[in-house]
Amino acid sequence: AYIEKEDSKKLKQKQRERMQPKMGKMDIDYQ
């Protein structure tokens, strides 16, 4: 169970890293 938690944390981090560049571009576009 502990390993699953660590894996899900890494997955969420990867998803966040994937989303942030898009959000950064969108912020620049809006400005």
Q: What is the pLDDT of residue 11?
A: 84
Residue 25: domain span = 1-31
Q: How far is it, in rounded angstroms, from Cα 3 to Cα 6?
A: 5
Number of domains in the chain: 1
pTM (predicted TM-score): 0.39
**pLDDT by 10-residue block (mean), the chain, 31 residues:** 84 75 60 48
Distances (CA, A) of 13 to 1, 4, 9, 30: 19, 14, 6, 25
3-state secondary structure the chain: CHHHHHHHHHHHHHHHHHHHHHHHHHHHHHC
The predicted structure's pLDDT at residue 21: 62
* Residue pointed to by tokens 């950064």: 24
